[in-house]
Amino acid sequence: MRQIWFVIAAMSVVAMGGVASAEDVGDPTAVKSEDGKYLDKDGNPTFKVQADGTVDWYTYSGFRRYHSECHVCHGPDGMGSTYAPALANSLKTMSYADFLGTVASGRKNVNTAQENVMPAFGDNPNVACYMDDLYVYLRARANNAIPRGRPAKHEDKSDAYTKAEDACMGNNDKK
């Protein structure tokens, strides 16, 4: 299943013509929900924050996964560090397909001043199984839909999410 994420991400990057930058990533407003996953008008995963601050499960899970796997390099809450960019800013111009491709395949930026390398996480189930969660969380941060820190309230995890998570993590024997 992990390899499927990598293949999907790679195909998305190829279909979109490679990694682009400074493109219009569209309106993040949720227009549809499928089993607890919110989608924008283009069908990309997005966040949903209720008036009382309750976030969708993907945003909450994305916060948890980000701070487990990504914050060491990219800083807390997607704010960046001295050697890795602020992903809260990157998601303002990075498409969903580009995000998947970068996370799955990694990236290397070399210039005369420095060399930055993001490792590939396509084979790491703690990242690959939660790419949508990470994207949704960072998209919410990029659009100032949620403040820094752990969301105080969140929707429940859907049964569909649990089944997909179990399948991706190799826990198919769960009922």
Tokens of 50: 């209720």
pLDDT (0 to 100) of residue 7: 45
Is there a contact between 40 and 46 (Cβ–Cβ < 8 Å)?
yes
> pLDDT at residue 18 above 80?
no
Q: Residue 3 burial (CB < 10 Å; 0-12/13-18/19+)? A: exposed
Q: pLDDT tens across 28-81, in order?
A: 999 999 999 999 999 999 999 999 999 999 999 999 999 999 999 898 998 988
Give phi and psi for 75, each to the nearest 5.
Answer: 80, 160
Which of 172, 102, 96, 164 minimizes the C-alpha distance to 130? 164
Query: How many C-alpha atoms does 53 have within 13 Å on its Cβ side?
Result: 8
Q: Which amino acid is at 119?
A: P
- What is the model's pTM? 0.83
Query: How many C-alpha atoms does 9 have within 13 Å on its Cβ side?
Result: 28
Q: pLDDT tens across 121-157, in order?
A: 999 999 999 999 999 999 999 999 999 999 999 999 9
Which of 144, 148, 123, 151 minimizes the C-alpha distance to 58? 151
Q: How far apart are CA 49 and CA 27, in angstroms?
A: 15
